[in-house]
């Protein structure tokens, strides 16, 4: 999550029914990461080619409408048309009002069956931040609030609000105990590892100097 920013988060799965019939099998899948440039559809097409599968007549399942404009990469709608897919299932249209619906129109014009709306709400929830920014040019803000253990933001209106100020500004010294006496400073001229010389009775007494 978030690795596609500032682009939308998009995933794509390509399926194809075997020549002899049977259940469709996944031949390629991909997701868009902004640092890797390639959109999800391109990643899925490349994976199918690497695995040796033909995409002719395949079905593409995409969380967002394939793009139809040139940006850092070419249009994904053109790539799907060139790959020869026969059906494209899209969860939701592109929220960008300048290009919304154009990718779908390209696919339909190429004779590809297009289905829109599968898991639509889940796909929109996935890209709420992108949709809000692309439409309003403002960030999608999530509320950050301090809550109590039981999930309350404040007391009921019928109860008075607590007054934390007196408690917060109460002198803290009584809670810490009496002030300790100041520490004696060690003489800077004596190394801390040298023992102090003490007077003893065995110490020789030097006579006083006389004139």
**Active centre residues (catalytic):** 41
3-state SS of 130-160 is: HHHHHHHCCCCCCCCCCCCCCCCCCCCCCCC
Q: What are phi and psi of 144, to 5 degrees?
A: -115, 120
CA 62/CA 20 separation, integer angstroms: 26
Closest listed residue to residue 8, CA positions, set 54, 41, 39:
39
Which tokens sit at 180?
A: 């300790």
CA 91/CA 88 separation, integer angstroms: 10
CA 198/CA 192 separation, integer angstroms: 16
C-alpha torsion sign, points 105, 108, 110, 113: positive
Report the 10 Å Cβ neighbour count for 70: 9
């Amino acid at each position: 999550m978030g690795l596609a920013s500032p682009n939308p988060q998009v995933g794509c799965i390509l399926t194809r029914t075997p020549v002899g019939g049977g259940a469709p099998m996944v031949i390629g899948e991909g997701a868009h990461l902004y640092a890797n440039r390639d959109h999800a559809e391109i990643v899925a097409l490349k994976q199918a080619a690497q695995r040796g599968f033909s995409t002719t007549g395949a079905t593409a399942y995409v969380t967002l409408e394939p793009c139809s404009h040139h940006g850092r990469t070419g249009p994904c709608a053109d790539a799907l048309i060139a790959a020869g897919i026969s059906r494209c299932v899209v969860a939701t249209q592109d929220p960008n009002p300048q290009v919304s619906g154009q990718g779908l129109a390209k696919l339909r014009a190429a004779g590809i069956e297009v289905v829109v709306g599968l898991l639509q709400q889940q796909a929109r929830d996935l890209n709420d931040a992108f949709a809000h920014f692309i439409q309003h040019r403002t960030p999608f803000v999530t509320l950050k609030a301090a809550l109590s253990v039981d999930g309350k933001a404040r007391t009921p209106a019928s109860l008075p609000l607590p007054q934390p100020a007196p408690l917060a500004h109460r002198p803290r010294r009584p809670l810490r105990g009496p002030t300790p006496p100041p520490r004696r400073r060690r003489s800077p001229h004596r190394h801390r590892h040298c023992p102090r010389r003490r007077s003893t009775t065995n110490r020789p007494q030097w006579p006083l100097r006389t004139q």
